[in-house]
Structure 1
């Protein structure tokens, strides 16, 4: 679930994970951004995504911040009692309490928390350590500080080198990574998908819209048939963006029957273009379409936003500024790093070598391979 912000007690909080190539590269966030405005919260998300992505790609780490002298004289167990944990979080906290429950918060060093991963879950991935140890500990302590002086408790994640070492130890590379969709995949998928699901796939592929943005579209507020444009709702600090779409897509959007998501009040503002309440709504039919078409399963984000980035930047060579503007990326470097992927590298390199060789042979009148 990509990062999203929500309001709580007058402040904007964040929840979700940071993803790369359709795979989470961070633990689950559930914390305050300390922003009083939504824009500030999304700015926090962008900065956090940059930091985590940089660490994931380059193995770079930021310094760990120790708790200051104003840390309360409470133990971690005391802090847990003041924290309202979700059921799954509670199960994560039980073994953590056994190890560090008696330690005072002011003495809880980030390095100590990071070492709990190998101790409690010796054969798990670093992603699991982050999700089941670092994230809940950080949430418990920051919840304590949220009612005090605004101190923030930070624990850096695991480096790329640490991930590789742990994966080697346990004999696994972690969650499966999916290559971005292409036109071939999309056309085969659409051939076997129900009309609404087929349109959903084309919509995300052509606009770089996230699944959360796409299913939140209102049939009257976000579609302008006269101009041939759609509005991709704001997300992650970006504003609503109106963009032109292919006429085939507009025709399909206009043919949809807008619906109220199941269980929602039947009031005009709740009408949705695709009729889903959340990202899990279309998943079953999405999987079935892949199976019926006999093609590999590709999740929403990789079939949409990643596929758009790959199609524009790698396959079609579109100007990066144009691709970023249309796809809603404020940071072009982030688009290039996170949303473009190596594709047919050996063939491309060998073709390039051959082109360079032939040009040089024509210029010098010499041959790489001597005849006779």
Structure 2
């Protein structure tokens, strides 16, 4: 049985069975002739899927829809959908993805091309591949120079807090002492905090999960000093997004006379400080919500600058303890 069209209101819809699959949907048009063309293309697509497999009909926009349905990030995807249009996923190979990166960002750095084009394109297609809808795609990255990011220190945070308003100072302290990302921190609600036990619920935006974080006494004090109606659904740090905190952040840095560091320097500082205090990477990853200990060690395992560290090798314990 082929597909037939029928009107529902002013819009034409279709229904029927192809290859034992029951299909129905809207043509999204009030014009009958256009609706018939849409249905004809739908029938061809369904038979092609039946005869040659889902990879023969899966388009990049369809793969993106599946990716977003899985609650994945939509970052950078609009530009990619406009570029690939209705290209079949099976026609997108490593070389074409690299060409797309150059075409979309002709003056962009290697890191920009990797981050904005290669990584999201590969993520979308490989998500579909995990659903057995196409083959996995591997794309060679453009060689990019890795720039060392400077982490915030507790001393830096204290100077920042001394010259920031209570909301902003507490926000900075929260990121440094819990490892929260800025997107996670600005979305913390009063219902997510228990100041009596020093616990915070952090909804992790990047990995789509939640974790509980410990708040040291100094952080509890900073949060307690925030003037707010403290409605359970109200944001603790009042900023609607990372953008609304940017200008006050810069102002506090200037007033404190400290090196300008980004929001992420606080999360960076959390990991670096933990590692330098002897906390193992597995524990740091768990406490800060990183996906792996390897990532923590590779990204945040900065060498210490104290040239006298070798003295520790020959330091002897208290004789009474031997």
TM over 0.5: yes
Cα 1:190/1:102, change in 2 over 3 Å: closer
Q: 1:82/1:270 Cα in 2 relative to 1: closer, same or farther (>3 Å)? A: same
Q: Distance in 1 between matches of 2:87 and 2:188?
A: 48
1:121/1:251 CA distance change after superposition, 3 Å = closer
2:170 maps to 199
Q: Distance in 1 between matches of 2:97 and 2:202?
A: 39
Query: Unpaired runs of 5+ in structure 2?
Result: 1-51, 69-73, 316-322
Cα distance in 2 between the residues matched to 1:322 and 1:189: 28
Q: Are residues 156 and 342 of structure 1, via their aligned partners in 2, closer, same or farther at CA, if it must alter by over 3 Å?
A: farther
Checking the alignment, whether the CA contact within 8 Å between 1:130 and 1:157 is kept in structure 2 is: no
Aligned match of 1:311: 273
Give how far 1:199 is off.
1.2
RMSD: 4.1
Q: Which runs of 5+ in 1 are unaligned?
A: 1-67, 165-172, 261-267, 360-372
Identify which of 215, 230, 243 aligns with 2:199.
230
Partner residue, 2:56: 72
Aligned to 2:244: 281
The CA distance in 2 between the partners of 1:206 and 1:107, in whole Å, is: 47
The residue matched to 2:176 in structure 1 has which SS?
Answer: helix
> 1:231 touches 1:241 (CA, 8 Å); kept in 2?
yes
Match of 1:336 among 256, 275, 297: 297
Q: State whether residues 71 and 106 of structure 1, in contact with CA within 8 Å, keep that contact through their aligned partners in structure 2.
A: yes
- How many residues align? The count is 254
SS at match of 1:309: helix
- Do the aligned partners of 1:258 and 1:274 also contact (CA within 8 Å) in 2? no
Higher relative contact order (CA 8 A, sep 6+): 1
Deviation at 1:275, TM superposition (A): 1.8
Equivalent in 143, 146, 155 of residue 163 of structure 1:
143
Are positions 1:255 and 2:225 aligned together? yes
Normalising by structure 1, report the TM-score: 0.54
Does residue 129 of structure 1 match 2:113? yes
Cα offset for 1:150?
4.8
Q: Is the 8 A contact 1:313 1:320 kept in 2?
A: yes
Deviation at 1:290, TM superposition (A): 1.2
In structure 2, what is the Cα distance between the partners aligned to 1:82 and 1:334?
28
Match of 2:265 among 278, 285, 302: 302
For 1:105 and 1:211, the matched residues in 2 are separated by 34
* 1:93–1:136 CA contact under 8 A, matched in 2: no
**Contact preservation (8 Å) 2:202, 2:210:** yes
Q: How does 1:135-150 map to 2 (within 5 A)?
A: 150=132
Within 1, Cα distance between the matches of 2:76 and 2:291? 35
In structure 1, the residue matched to 2:8 is none
Give the match for residue 133 of structure 2: 151
> 2:275·2:301 contact (CA, 8 Å) conserved in 1?
yes
Q: Which has the larger radius of gyration?
A: 2
CA spacing shift, 1:226–1:284, aligned 2, 3 Å: same
Cα distance, 1:323 vs structure 2? 4.2
Query: With structure 2 as the length reference, what TM-score do the two structures score?
Result: 0.61
Query: How many Å separate the matches in 2 of 1:276 and 1:112?
Result: 41
Alpha-carbon separation, structure 1, partners of 2:119 and 2:247: 30
Deviations 1:15-37 (A, max 9, x none): xxxxxxxxxxxxxxxxxxxxxxx
- Secondary structure of 1:307's aligned partner: helix
Report the secondary structure of 2:199's partner residue.
Answer: strand
Check conservation: 1:179, 1:302, Cα contact below 8 A: yes
